Amino acid sequence: MRTFLQLKRADMPPLPPEMAGDDVRFPESLVAHFVAAYTTPGAVVFDPFAGFGTTLRAAERMGRQGWGLEYDARRAAFARAGLAAPERLIHGDARALADYAFPAVDLALSSPPYMLREDPENPLTAYTTPGAGYAAYLRDLQAVYALLAGRLAPGGRVVIEVANLKSDAGVTPLAWDVARHVGAVLAFEGEVVIGWDAYGYGYDHSYALVYCAP
């Protein structure tokens, strides 16, 4: 597995105007890289934070089963419209993963909703409710991936795309904090550094953190 990738975000298809200001997608090229590395045709590729459906759509195009959860109803509806099997994307809450029926997961690939340390909203409710703070957000993410650990197929992998975040208040070391919290419930296998033509958050790179069952 290569440990550095150079990818482009600028070539992604545009979103509808009402969603264009909230474009936090990664491109299908990222999904394709890890799907090819860790799965074979027919495998289950799961995204607990499915967003606009990039992971599921790319998985389907590569002959895999794309499954996912998305909290935001508008995003879920948009994503379903582009899927061959829209019923596999559930409008639901990743924190309640145990309540949903999914097949065993060969690859879980996602970028969780980001949080600055000073953000007042809860990212895991699509920023629609007050949060309990950055530490609570990290604990909730850890709990999601602890549940996911029990749903992995033998040899299954988890890949999390995440970055550190710069703001006027300083740097939120989100990538390091997510790595540490998820590493408490899954076995960390390493990271892939991804260089982007355009990214945001004060950086031009992010990280793909790779895990397997503990």
Query: Is 110 in contact with 47 (CB distance < 8 Å)?
Result: yes
* Residue 18, pLDDT score: 81
pLDDT value, residue 9: 82
Spatial contact of 60 and 41, defined as CB atoms under 8 Å apart: no
Place of tokens 């710069």: 166
Give the residue ranges of the chain where pLDDT is below 50.
none
Question: Quick check: 126 and 72 in contact, CB under 8 A?
Answer: yes
Strand partners, 159: 109, 210
Q: What is the pTM of this model?
A: 0.97
Residues 34 and 159 sit within 8 Å (Cβ to Cβ): yes
Digit-coded pLDDT (tens) for 136-146? 999 999 999 99
pLDDT at 15: 82
The pLDDT value given to residue 115: 98
Q: Which of 194, 200, 211, 210 is nearest to 29 (CA)?
A: 194
- Domains annotated for the chain, with CATH where assigned, are 4-212 (3.40.50.150)
pLDDT digits over 43-55, tens only? Answer: 999 999 999 999 9
pLDDT of residue 14: 83
